[in-house]
Amino acid sequence: MTRSSSPANGLLFALASASLYGFNIVYARIASFAGASGSAIVVYRVFLMLVLVGIVAAVTRSSLKAAREERGTLLLLGVSTAFVGLCYLSSVAFIPVTVAAVVFYTFPILIVLASPFVEGTRLTPALLGVVALATLGVALVVGPAFGVLDWHGLALAFAASIATAIQFFAAARCCRTGIIAKTFWIHLLVFPTAALISLAAGQLAPPSALALAPFAVAMTIGGYIIGFVLQFVALGRITAVAAGIIYCAEPVVAALSSALILNETLAPLQVAGGALVLAAIIAKVLLDQRHLKDAPLVPIAD
């Protein structure tokens, strides 16, 4: 199916995917309250994804072969993807979902700042303005509550942002390997990385630990898997610009969900800061419109 064949459906798939990712982090926080660590959830959801991808590959007889010249890039992509999930899901054990989401969503700005060094692009005044806007927004969100926020959570959320930026640059250089094969190899690399990190942190609990919060764990794992699949479905139907704007709904959904489900609140200045970060991300996407009209959105696994 071509991208232009069903753009309306593509927008709906992307919105559903972004919403599931937003719900995902809220239920990860609920699971952490019950004792199911974010790193353990990542390990088991990656294992389940591997099983499902293997079944799909067998049924469709799809090749799982990775392009030889992209194997090193796939390794970096897998490791960075592991750190995205581990750091982001673990951050909400220390800080509110709304704060974690805003800090995490600084990754588009990090990509802008790093692109001159990684890809040789030029920083324009407009892009610098976007960076300044987002930086101000993050300062407003974190600043008023910095004294009461656990620095571990802030560090983990920002580490997830850095890992996502690395993931984007690596994924941009990995275009010869098929989607099913790429998904398989990414998760095959994520699994031992996540397991080793979880083991080193003393958080690699047996599967029975997931029963501490069965509904929250099911929502977290299910939201990730279904959101990941819908993301790939959406990318074949809409442009990168449209998808980028739709995926900006994820932190908004996370904030609204945390307010409704967890009764988390933000001060007016923090709400304004979150709005500035979201505005900066949307502005960045719109600035890229003339250059990226037909480019695919790089898939994120959070």
The number of domains in the chain is: 1
In a domain? residue 292: no
Residue 242, amino acid = A
In a domain? residue 141: yes
- What pLDDT score does 3 carry? 45
- What pLDDT score does 273 carry? 81
- DSSP for residue 230: H
Quote the tokens at residue 68.
């030889």
- Confidence at 4, pLDDT banded by 50, 70, 90: very low
**By mean pLDDT, which of 155-164, 189-198, 218-227 is the weakest?**
189-198
In a domain? residue 297: no
**Contact indicator for 282, 248 with CB cutoff of 8 Å:** yes
- Confidence at 302, pLDDT banded by 50, 70, 90: very low
Range of the domain at 160: 7-287
- What pLDDT score does 71 carry? 81
- Does residue 279 have a pLDDT over 90? no
In a domain? residue 128: yes
Mean pLDDT for the chain overall: 78
Spatial separation of the C-alpha atoms in residues 276 and 19, rounded to whole Å: 20
In a domain? residue 293: no
Highest mean pLDDT of the ranges 95-104, 141-150, 173-182: 95-104
What are the pLDDT digits (tens) for 62-72? 888 877 888 88
- What pLDDT score does 83 carry? 87
- What pLDDT score does 300 carry? 46
- Collapsed DSSP state (helix, strand, coil) of residue 260: helix
In a domain? residue 181: yes
In a domain? residue 299: no
What are the pLDDT digits (tens) for 18-49? 889 888 888 888 888 887 777 788 888 888 88
